[in-house]
A and B are shown apart, each in its own frame.
Chain A
Amino acid sequence: MVSTREDRVVNAVVYTALVLVGVISVFPLLFVVSASLTPYSEILRNGGYVVIPRSITLDAYQQLLSEPKIPRALMVTTFITVVGTALNMVLSVLMAYPLSRKDLPGRSFFLLAILFTMLFNAGIIPTYLVVKATGLLDTVWAMIIPNAIWVFNVLVLKTFFERLPDEIVDSARIDGAGEFTILLRIILPLSTPVLLTIGLFYAVGHWNEFLQAVLYVRVEELQPLQVVVRELLTRSQSAENIDTALPTVTLQMAAIVIAAIPMIVVYPFIQKHFQKGVMLGSIKG
């Protein structure tokens, strides 16, 4: 392709814009990481802003990880993320696949029903009553089960399954395969991109779990990571708690790093599938 002058100019503009956006996006994270490594007095000395740390201290991390609160919250969140995502994927796939078969009796009724739940939500108190009635209150499962199926993700999966060629399914059926075999042996292996993408959506959602934890889990031991981190970040002094030291910026930033890094680390590995996956859920044609 011949690159005209116009092309080169456009390229330059686009690249500049992208680099700028990239730097703006990375900068806050850079600040958070360096603030978490710089001793508090250094930060104060430099006007509260340190981009490249001059002296490094791991004190904040040490403090956070030696008290039982954060490691325990990390374990709770990891549990919710791993078990929760597994449950999510199983349930979502089991729901999406039948709905993707055009010959399903009552298909439009079911589709309408789940779409309805996407538009209308019961509200905090009715949902709370249901969670209480099923005995999930104050347990780890309160953060996994009530939100186990995201209709949006189910619809994405369904659309993807629909786009798979019918011939493959038909030929498997002729060979005598049952529904589960078709699902497990044929459909799923072909769907890796979308499964990884949706799985990542669920996983990140679980990792960031906050509101459900606050509403349904009133037990200290089961608080997930985001709740504990938020406590550290929003603490302020009142007349009663003059005994406690307010967390320093260093400590707060270290908490943010602990809460954010695992997800950031996982993303690149899924990246290549992610690119393909998002588009694949879109409407055909």
Chain B
Amino acid sequence: MSRLKLAVVASLAASAVMATSCAGDQSTAKREGDGERITLTVHRPTEESPPDNDILKREIDKALGIDLRLVTTGGTEYETQLSASLAAGDPPDLFSISRPMLRKLASQGLLLDLTEYMDNELTTYTQFVSPETRTRGKIDGRDYALASKSGYFYPAYWIRKDWLDNLGLEVPRTVDELFEVARAFTKDDPDGNGKNDTYGLTGDRGFSAFMPLWGAFGSGGPGNFYLKDGEIVNGYVDPATKDALAFIQKLNKQGVVDPDWVTNEFMTAHERAWQGRAGILYFSWSEMTKPEFVDQYKKANPEAEWIQMAPPSGPAGEGALPRDRGAVTLWAIPRALEKDEAKLQKVFDLINFVSSQEGNRLVMYGLEGRHYTLDGQRVVPTDKLAEEGNYFWLYQLTGRDDEDYLATKFAAQQEYIDFANNQPFIEIYNSLVTPPEDYNAGDASRFIEEQFARFVSGARPLSEYDEFLDTLLNKFGYADYIESAKEQIRAAGIQQ
């Protein structure tokens, strides 16, 4: 029986050897490419990934002489994976991060200081984005990340025009008119089906239903940082927020808002509206007007007609929407790459390429002749663009010129695009702020999430708001957070 023993041991040993050697081969193969082209790994946080037949990758590889690996990881695991690979000394060559992470990694010395390169190797990039955009990637005056261009603003209030017509109502322009319309939508059976199954507004747990309302009372939105009378204020502290809350509580208490908003996820709210359960919704034109979506909701509700609506005006004057122009993608390069000059240059080449006219056009529209044709300087999309171009945005590392892009790709929705982007805005500066070292963001946000929603829904009376604010500012250290935020915003050059 020792032969059996020998056989078993031998086969186990063989498979172990095979496993590790296979592993070794594969990993080296992936690292070095075919020896001639440099492999670049780029990581970004998103659930989508490029398809197998990646046309853009082929073109970029050809143009730059590299083997580009774009890796996407969704959700919360992205930062875990990134931290692990940075700690292990095995980071991607270019990766996207949030501003808090940028500050942390820069202070740990893990990121390459790009300041010297900005006006030399990266001039194509610096010409592509505005100086204001560039400041988004700066920490204490030095460039540690490359910010992408910010785009158009997409969301707006949408309202059921057919319901308004059925009830003989006009599009509401003030908050009081909005309340009346919402009440009518709830009580007066606007879809004429004899059932009491409709609401005025619906939204998700991120307070989307109420986003355009803060501005009518002079608030920039809870938790946001904005300028008021030349001073930087925080939305929770601003007394105007309390005024807005009074109105929003009225909406909720009178039952004109779909009560499920408190638990709705992002898409659920949308579906509710599409089902014909509510008549006012705050959403992007991209979801409301793209033909494939219109098809869906028309099948469920053939008479549905949605139109956009400006943020209503209120006691503080004209309505406005909070807008953070700094909500861009930040790209950082690991410090270790300093030693690999050839690879570092290729990373710069990549950034410059997608910021150049030719490269930007490639990642926006694809291949000339296949995805679009040129009519003089104007880009005319072909059918293939919609069919094959859904993942192109993954390669738009430094952003795109939304004006051209949207006009070209979504010509049919131009009026909706312009409407949404031309609404009155209150500038908010949240993206410039990172919490101070000793601030416990987790506890504070949990407290806020629990309590603030109750104020919004009316479960907690406004008389207790000051108490909530006091606890937040002192017990949870929010006051220190605000002070630090003000300094950071001032340091970035805001506040006249």
Contact = CB atoms under 8 A, between A and B. Distances in A.
Interface in A202-219: 211, 214-215, 218-219
B16 to A, nearest CB: 10
Contacts of A237: 266, 284, 286-287
Given A138-B27, A215-B80, A128 B327 contact: no
Nearest to B26: A139
A145 B22 CA distance: 13
B22 A139 contact: yes
Contacts of B46: 238, 241
Given A132-B90, A215-B81, A237-B287, A178 B1 contact: yes
Interface SS of B by simple majority = helix
Nearest to A246: B267
Nearest to A40: B296
B275 A48 contact: yes
B393 A135 contact: no
Given A135-B23, A178-B2, A234-B47, A44 B87 contact: no
B284 A242 contact: yes
Contacts of B74: 230-231, 234-235
A178 B327 contact: no
A243 to B, nearest CB: 5
A170 interface: no
Contacts of B292: 245
B275 A218 contact: no
Interface in A231-259: 231-232, 234-246, 248-249
Interface stretch (B349-357, B384-392, B460-468): B384-392
Given A124-B80, A220-B49, A236 B267 contact: yes
Interface in A15-66: 40-42, 44-45, 47-48
Contacts of B71: 218-220
Contacts of A215: 77, 80-81, 84
Interface in B18-61: 19-20, 22-24, 26-27, 30, 41, 43, 46-50, 52
A124 B84 contact: yes
Nearest to B271: A48
B296 A236 contact: no
A48 B272 contact: yes
A164 interface: no
A278 interface: no
A41 B73 CA distance: 31
Interface in B252-305: 266-268, 271-272, 274-275, 277, 284, 286-287, 290, 292-293, 296-297, 299-301
B90 A137 contact: yes
Nearest to B268: A48
A181 B1 contact: yes
Contact of B1 (A177, A214, A218): A177
Given A124-B84, A215-B84, A244-B48, A138 B30 contact: yes
B4 A180 contact: yes
A124 B87 CA distance: 10
A77 to B, nearest CB: 17
A214 B77 CA distance: 7
A163 B300 CA distance: 64
A79 to B, nearest CB: 13
Contacts of B267: 236, 246
B72 to A, nearest CB: 8
B424 interface: no
A138 B69 CA distance: 13
A130 B12 CA distance: 22
Contact of B266 (A40, A125, A178, A236): A236
B73 A125 contact: no
A182 B47 CA distance: 51
Contact of B299 (A41, A230, A235, A243): A41
Interface string A121-148: 0001100110010111111010001000
Given A44-B300, A184-B4, A243-B392, A90 B23 contact: no
A48 B245 CA distance: 30
Contacts of A138: 26-27, 30
A254 to B, nearest CB: 16
B84 A219 contact: no
Contact of A134 (B23, B151, B293): B23
A271 B397 CA distance: 52
B88 interface: yes
A285 interface: no
Contact of A240 (B83, B299, B393): B393
Interface in A55-96: 68, 90
Given A41-B296, A134-B20, A90 B12 contact: yes
A47 B273 CA distance: 10
* Residue of A44, A128, A181, A184 with most chain B CB atoms under a 10 A cut-off: A44
Given A40-B296, A135-B23, A237-B286, A125 B47 contact: no
B274 A129 contact: no
A90 B81 CA distance: 31
A255 B146 CA distance: 37
A125 B26 contact: no
Interface string B382-406: 0000000111111010000000000
Contact of B5 (A45, A135, A180): A180
Contacts of B12: 90
Interface in B383-442: 389-394, 396, 409
Contact of A139 (B27, B43, B296): B27
Nearest to A241: B393
A222 to B, nearest CB: 9
B154 interface: yes
B52 to A, nearest CB: 6
Contacts of A129: 87-88
Contacts of B10: none
B275 A45 contact: yes
Contact of B329 (A47, A128, A139, A240): A240
Given A129-B87, A137-B90, A241-B46, 14 more contacts: A44-B275, A44-B299, A138-B26, A138-B27, A138-B30, A141-B23, A180-B5, A239-B152, A239-B154, A241-B394, A243-B392, A243-B393, A246-B267, A249-B271
The 3 A-B pairs at the shortest CB distance, nearest first, are namely A41-B299, A44-B300, A242-B286
21 contacts: A44-B299, A44-B301, A45-B300, A47-B277, A48-B275, A124-B84, A128-B85, A135-B20, A137-B90, A138-B30, A139-B26, A141-B22, A219-B30, A230-B47, A234-B47, A236-B267, A237-B284, A239-B152, A240-B151, A244-B48, A249-B271
